[in-house]
Amino acid sequence: MKIHKISDENKNLFPKYFYWSIPIFLISNIIFRYFYYEGTATTDSFSYFKLAASLPKIKSSYFPILYPFLLRVTNLFTNDYFISSKILSIISILFILYFTKKVNFFWKEIWILLLSPICLMIMPMSWSETILLPILIVYFYLNYIIHK
């Protein structure tokens, strides 16, 4: 039985290809799941769209105002609330990845968090949770810095 040795040039191939597979998986997830209209727009999403369309005159609402406000701002560029919600979701993912890499705040753990089934279910949806995740990560970072 002949045993093959791993050469020095092939030792570091796994981490390099592994790190490239994660963004490729996320990008394919964005392409195939984000723009599927029937699965990602719920009754809450339509309530957010209606609330964003009625800004700045709000009669009553049970929902937080930040997400409809950001929908309204991105709607100025796209003229479609559904596409605006997808753009906000993609911006929030990119912000999370950029922020955690820039400040070196549990970057690998955040990748694993974003690849969890719950995040893969929440991020394509047109919900306010897509904006909540970057806010929570910035909050956790500030809390980590203060109590360090």
CA dihedral 122, 27, 117, 93 (to 10 degrees): -50
8 Å CB contact between 134 and 99? yes
CA distances 60 to 33, 41, 47, 107, 132, Å, are: 32, 22, 12, 40, 22
Query: H or E stretch including 103?
Result: none
**Distance, CA of 55 to CA of 83 (rounded, Å):** 18
Tokens 């003229």 belong to which residue? 79
Question: Residue 23's pLDDT is what?
Answer: 72
Q: Report the distance separating Cα 124 and Cα 89, nearest Å.
A: 7
DSSP assignment of 50-84, as one string?
A: HHHHTTT--S--SS-SHHHHHHHHHHHHHS-HHHH
Crossing angle between the packed helical segments 81-102 and 107-114, to the nearest 10 degrees: 150
pLDDT tens sequence across 31-71? 666 556 555 777 777 788 888 888 888 776 666 788 888 98
Q: Which pTM value belongs to this model?
A: 0.70
Could you list the pLDDT tens digit for every one of the 148 residues in the chain? 555 555 555 555 556 666 677 777 767 766 666 556 555 777 777 788 888 888 888 776 666 788 888 989 999 998 888 888 888 888 888 898 889 889 988 888 888 888 777 777 777 778 888 888 899 999 999 999 999 7
